[in-house]
Structure 1
């Protein structure tokens, strides 16, 4: 029997009475857990609902292909992020975060930082004292950084200049070039960053978690940051995320 903490990212019906849940864990990454009678029984109802952060006791079995299958034995909720469910826009945004996590679907150990990022983001979304768009941008960019897609942001890849009035970030190569060294500023993959935007992008990618959510930016720079992080996600993941479209409609 295995016991770990998990965040419920999705619920799926299985048959007439059961369901499966997709769960983010620090120990195993994103996994699916079968919940017998989960649609009818109230025993594990609150602890296995969407966005619940719960202590899960599961049985691991191997199928004919030697793949792990998990079956819930018992569960206990730790945090339900109740206020997110009261706001359709927050629910849509949290669902978008879940879609990103499931698309990346890291199935390995060492997901502590991704778990920490996700819980911190949901905490501030639930609390309601941070701008939703800023939370979205932080989560998008830092998640991909933690998933192994952190770009080279320490300086110009040619002359090693730390900053300039205009720096160019190339989505294709993942590197910075200063305005003087930029080989192809007209590339479809090029994003211009002024000094402030470069600082913001570096801060999100590199700062420690104790400081990650402790900043604010102007509406002007939030629009630039939203455009940057969404382009970064689209280029690297190339997926479709219905919850993001729904969030934009609200």
Structure 2
């Protein structure tokens, strides 16, 4: 039996009374846990509902193919992020976060930084102390950074200029080019970053979690940042997320 903390990011019914939950945990990444009688039993209902951060005790069994399956023994909630469930817009955004995590499907690897990012994002969403659109952009971009897609943002890839009025970022190469050195400004992968937007993008990619959410943006730059992070995410996650569409129309 294994004991670990994890965040429930998806629920699915299994038969008439049982269910499976998809859990993000630091030690094992994204795993599925089978919950017997999970649709009817009140014993672990709060700990196994979506967006609950809980302590899980699970039995580990291997199937005929050698794949590890987890079966819930017990669970106790640590934080159920109750306020998220009271607001449809917050629920939609949290569901979008969950979809991104499920799509990435990180398995058998250290996910402590991804879990930290997710819990911090849900905490501020639950408390209502940060603009939801800002949380969305920070989560999108930093998640991709933690998954190994952090771009090279130090300076121009050719002349090493730290900044210019316009810096060109290439989604395909993950590199920056200044206005003078940009070789293909009309490329479909090219994105123009002004000084302020470049600073914001660098901040999200590189700053420590203790400071990551400690900033505010004007409406104009919230829109610019959202456009950039959605396109960055769309390049690597070639999927049309219904939860994102729903969040944007609320």
How do 1:63-212 and structure 2 match up within 5 A?
63-212=63-212
What 5-or-longer segments of structure 2 have no aligned partner? none
Deviates more, 1:177-186 or 1:101-110: 101-110
Aligned length: 250
- Using the TM superposition, give the Cα deviation of residue 179 of structure 1 relative to its aligned residue in structure 2, in angstroms: 0.3
Give the equivalent residue in structure 1 for 2:44: 44
Distance 1:45 1:239 in 2: 31
Pair 1:245 & 2:245 matched: yes
- Using the TM superposition, give the Cα deviation of residue 108 of structure 1 relative to its aligned residue in structure 2, in angstroms: 2.1
Distance 2:241 2:71 in 1: 28
Distance 2:229 2:148 in 1: 16
**CA deviation string 1:204-238 (max 9, x = no partner):** 00000010000001111111000000000111110
- Using the TM superposition, give the Cα deviation of residue 129 of structure 1 relative to its aligned residue in structure 2, in angstroms: 1.1
- Using the TM superposition, give the Cα deviation of residue 109 of structure 1 relative to its aligned residue in structure 2, in angstroms: 2.6
Distance 1:41 1:93 in 2: 28
**CA deviation string 1:75-105 (max 9, x = no partner):** 0000000000000000000000000000001
Give the equivalent residue in structure 1 for 2:221: 221
Q: Secondary structure at the match of 2:169?
A: strand
In the superposition, the TM-score normalised over structure 1's length comes to 0.99
Distance 2:56 2:177 in 1: 47
- Using the TM superposition, give the Cα deviation of residue 239 of structure 1 relative to its aligned residue in structure 2, in angstroms: 1.1
Q: Secondary structure at the match of 1:45?
A: coil
Give the equivalent residue in structure 2 for 1:25: 25
Distance 1:248 1:163 in 2: 32
Distance 1:140 1:158 in 2: 28
- Using the TM superposition, give the Cα deviation of residue 146 of structure 1 relative to its aligned residue in structure 2, in angstroms: 0.1
Over aligned residue pairs, what C-alpha RMSD do you find? 0.5
Distance 1:108 1:223 in 2: 36
Distance 2:14 2:64 in 1: 20
Distance 1:61 1:187 in 2: 50
- Using the TM superposition, give the Cα deviation of residue 110 of structure 1 relative to its aligned residue in structure 2, in angstroms: 1.3
- Using the TM superposition, give the Cα deviation of residue 24 of structure 1 relative to its aligned residue in structure 2, in angstroms: 0.3
- Using the TM superposition, give the Cα deviation of residue 46 of structure 1 relative to its aligned residue in structure 2, in angstroms: 0.4
Distance 1:55 1:203 in 2: 32
Moved over 4 A (4+): none
Distance 1:174 1:59 in 2: 42
